[in-house]
């Protein structure tokens, strides 16, 4: 496991230098260490049948460049300022969130492992809602503490996905409008109660329904954060409404709409999706 000292050291490097390092690391990670190359190949080959991707070798090269950039950016975020984010992160359709804030409503923000999703750590600089991220605690306690402290510097609180219902209930009782951010496109364990089977990227796979379940339990509006990359070190997010009243939605419709939005983004630029995750390990076909 990477040491905290090494993480803190990297976070002091200028972003431009980190991108130069990223170019070198991309070659090492992809061709020397071959980090999850088999998983990436499998995922892209299966997805290409659904989308008719061309030039898979170029997509893989661009993906590994994005992948290394992303993780170096995550480390660097510990030392990035509000001014930096206001200059380099374009947050669009804030009025949609402000509408619910003015009504005293919390919202669910569904994100995917696409583009610079980690940049959402800076949302407290842009929006009125208090921002709470639902995350999976890391087994390395020192790294976990580093991540929590780094997020807190920018005004974001973190709650464990294992206690999300209980923690959200407590926050909602306090009455402060809160945005709950969830990255919900992981491949779940088959033993999980919060899943259902559906088509994603042309494959029949189990998907999480935890975000939808939370939204229905508290009847919170559900918004999708559509991330896109402008250029290296500059990203954009646009808020899009998925459901204003989840309790009125048919079961799994919110999750299906969410997956459709992810697929649309992947089709536009497949290199910006996190293909190192084993998306299809439980696929039926």
Does residue 284 belong to any structural domain of this protein? Answer: no
Distance separating alpha carbons of residues 86 and 167, to the nearest angstrom: 30
Does residue 190 belong to any structural domain of this protein? Answer: yes
For residue 170, what are the domain limits?
82-270
CB 282 within 8 A of CB 190: yes
First to last CA, the chain: 35
- Number of domains comprising the chain: 1
Distance separating alpha carbons of residues 194 and 43, to the nearest angstrom: 23
Cα 201 to Cα 34, 116, 266, 270, distances in angstroms: 24, 21, 9, 11
Residue 285: pLDDT band (50, 70, 90) is low
Does residue 121 belong to any structural domain of this protein? Answer: yes
Distance separating alpha carbons of residues 210 and 108, to the nearest angstrom: 11
Structure tokens at 41: 């190949």
Choose between 147 and 29: higher pLDDT.
Answer: 29
Does residue 35 belong to any structural domain of this protein? Answer: no
* Crossing angle for the helix pair 4-11 and 141-153, to the nearest 10 degrees: 30
Q: What is the pLDDT of residues 100-158, one digit of tens each?
A: 999 999 999 999 999 999 999 999 999 999 999 999 888 888 888 888 888 899 999 99
| Mean pLDDT, all residues of the chain | 93
Does residue 45 belong to any structural domain of this protein? Answer: no
Task: Write the burial class of residue 158 (CB in 10 Å: 0-12 exposed, 13-18 middle, 19+ buried).
Answer: buried
Task: Write the burial class of residue 116 (CB in 10 Å: 0-12 exposed, 13-18 middle, 19+ buried).
Answer: buried
Q: What is the pTM of this model?
A: 0.94
Does residue 118 belong to any structural domain of this protein? Answer: yes
| DSSP per position, 200-248 | ETTEEEEEE-HHHHHHHHHT--EEEEEEEEEETTEEEEEEEEEES-GGG
Does residue 119 belong to any structural domain of this protein? Answer: yes
Does residue 113 belong to any structural domain of this protein? Answer: yes
Contacts of range 212-216, beta carbons closer than 8 Å, 24 or more positions apart: 212/246, 212/252, 212/254, 212/255, 214/108, 214/164, 214/165, 214/168, 214/180, 214/182, 215/108, 215/243, 215/246, 215/254, 216/246, 216/247, 216/249, 216/254
pLDDT of 189 > 80? The answer is no
pLDDT of 257 > 80? The answer is yes
Judged by average pLDDT, the poorest of 53-62, 64-73, 85-94 is: 53-62
pLDDT of 3 > 60? The answer is yes
């Amino acid at each position: 496991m990477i040491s905290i000292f090494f993480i803190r050291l990297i976070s002091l490097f200028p972003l431009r230098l980190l991108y130069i390092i990223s170019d070198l690391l991309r070659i090492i990670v992809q061709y020397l260490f071959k980090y999850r190359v088999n998983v990436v190949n499998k995922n892209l080959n299966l997805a290409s049948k659904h989308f008719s991707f061309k030039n898979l070798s170029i997509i893989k090269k661009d993906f590994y460049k994005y992948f290394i950039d992303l993780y170096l950016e995550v480390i660097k975020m510990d030392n990035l300022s509000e001014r930096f984010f206001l200059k380099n992160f374009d947050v669009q359709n804030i009025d949609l969130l402000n509408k619910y804030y003015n009504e005293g409503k919390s919202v669910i923000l569904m994100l995917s492992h696409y583009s610079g999703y980690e940049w959402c750590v800076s949302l407290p600089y842009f929006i009125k809602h208090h921002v709470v991220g639902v995350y999976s605690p890391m087994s390395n306690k020192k790294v976990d503490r580093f991540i929590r402290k780094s997020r807190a510097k920018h005004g974001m609180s973190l709650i464990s996905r294992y206690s999300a219902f209980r923690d959200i209930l407590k926050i909602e009782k306090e009455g402060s409008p809160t945005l709950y951010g969830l990255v919900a496109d992981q491949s779940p364990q088959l033993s999980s109660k919060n899943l259902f089977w559906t088509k994603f990227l042309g494959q029949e796979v189990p998907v999480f329904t935890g975000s939808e379940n939370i939204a229905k339990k508290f009847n919170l509006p559900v918004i999708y954060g559509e991330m896109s990359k402008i250029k290296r070190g500059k990203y954009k997010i646009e808020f899009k409404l998925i459901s204003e009243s989840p309790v009125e939605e048919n079961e799994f419709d919110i999750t299906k709409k969410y997956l459709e939005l992810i697929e649309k983004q992947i089709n536009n630029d497949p290199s910006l999706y996190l293909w190192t995750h084993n998306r299809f390990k439980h696929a039926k076909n």
